[in-house]
Amino acid sequence: MPVNPADSPIFGTLYGSDAMRAVFDDRAYCQYMLDVEAALARVQARLGIIPAEAAEAITTAAVLKNVDTAEMAASVRNVGYPVVGLVHGLSRGAGAAGAWSHWGATTQDIMDSATALQVRDGLALIRADLMALLHALAAQADVHRTTVMAGRTHLQHALPITFGLKLATWAMPLAAHVQRLDQLHPRATMVQFGGAAGTLASLGDQGIAVMEGLAAELGLGVPPAPWHVGRDGLAEAVGFLGLLCGSLAKIATDVILMAQNEVAELTEPYVPGRGQSSTMPQKRNPIASEYILASSRAVQALVPLMQGAMAHDHERATGPWQAEPLALPQAFVLAHGALLHARSIADGMVVDAGRMRANLDITGGLIVAEAVMMGLAPMLGREAAHHVVKEACDHAMSAGIPLAAALAADSVVASRLDSAAIARLVDPAGYLGSSQAFIDRILATIVGLEAI
């Protein structure tokens, strides 16, 4: 059984996704390395470095069935890296042509290029589900653009907002994350090919041509020079996942708070039995949100591991490189799991607009005290208006009456505003400012991402 629950057949669906595990598991990594070896042979054959028939045989042999897992594991325990055992199996499968495999390459070239392929495919999964999450949030924001609710600061009522604005605010950083992903993609998905010490001396004057051809063959970018000890691209990718998880955790936190029985404005999608308690039949715990928070904390804990691993010594690291596999695959798996949980919430959230309105009204209109003050300010001046409204708020709270009644009982207010004017000032729906415009602006940024 796996030690990490993200890789467990029991707990794995809570902490990750099968799709992302299929990109980063051992078998996938071995096949990616074989793909790199085969691509290298084809490029070198086209350049006349190795025989064409050798490249054909190596490409045919670059399949997992030619790699003995037990043999490779024994080699890794002895050598410390998987490529010696991998190339041994590949060469054996290619027969005499195997003598031309791994020509001019070093272990790190194969492993780093395979990692770049994993990152490329992992980012593609992240982007697809991130866009799906954005579309779901945008649709919900449009539906609820006029659903008035209490805006809260310091966990207390502040001013009225709409649930649509809250949803759009959730979406705004996610749209920026799509842009970040597209910007970092070329920096994190470059081919690695530098030979023993990053000079490609073994290939004479054809080293750069092989590097460029290998990049084209694999669909990876071409670096200015080998990046054996320049790990910023991979560290940036994991840093991005940490940022993404931070935004997902904000959504999860809001959902958890809104799902409390005392608030009851929003719940996760209802699935019979999901989030139930073994002893309390009434419970519907916010399971998806809880696992978003757990996974996000884990991903963010892996960010400093990747950044610390950037301190490579000289032309090949003694330890930092080996730390990266402890962080990068798990960061992708956990982040994708959190993203899928967020998608499920956005797609099927249960919104109680009536409860939102009831909670909004719970303070008897005090939430719109600023609106009343701003309405009176042109008549009394801002400072005097603030004082009058503060007195009315204190009266409303001490007497247990609505703010409108306290205002009507104030001679200064009553001399300037009739009951209809007071009613307009204390209507939360009339004090939403630029909410609709902000929603429109955020939704427009999501639509704009489609062209990327």
b/e sequence 54-89, b meaning 16+ C-beta within 10 Å: bbbbbbebbbeebbeeeebeebeeeeebbbebbbbb
Closest CA to 215 of 451, 78, 409, 36: 36
Any long-range contacts for 437-443 (C-beta under 8 Å, 24+ apart)?
438/165, 438/168, 439/141, 439/142, 439/145, 439/162, 439/164, 439/165, 439/168, 442/138, 442/141, 442/168, 442/169, 442/171, 442/172, 442/175, 443/138, 443/141, 443/142, 443/168, 443/171
CA distances from 204 to 126, 208, 209, 223 (A): 40, 9, 11, 19
The pair of three-digit structure tokens given for residue 291, joined into one six-digit string: 């696992």
Q: Choose the catalytic residue: 46, 316, 355, 416.
A: 316
Closest CA to 144 of 388, 372, 381, 439: 439
CA distances from 362 to 157, 158, 350, 367, 429 (A): 10, 13, 21, 9, 15
**Do 149 and 359 touch, CB atoms closer than 8 A?**
yes
Q: What is the DSSP letter of 190?
A: B
CA distances from 134 to 90, 156, 243 (A): 44, 28, 16
The pair of three-digit structure tokens given for residue 157, joined into one six-digit string: 């009522």
Q: Give dist(CA 422, CA 430) in Å, integer.
A: 12
The pair of three-digit structure tokens given for residue 24, joined into one six-digit string: 């980063």
Q: Choose the catalytic residue: 27, 202, 274, 277.
A: 277
Any long-range contacts for 404-407 (C-beta under 8 Å, 24+ apart)?
404/365, 407/372
CA distances from 226 to 67, 131, 370, 420 (A): 28, 33, 60, 74
277 is catalytic: yes
Which residue matches tokens 């009225």?
Answer: 160
Q: Which are the catalytic amino acids?
A: 277, 316
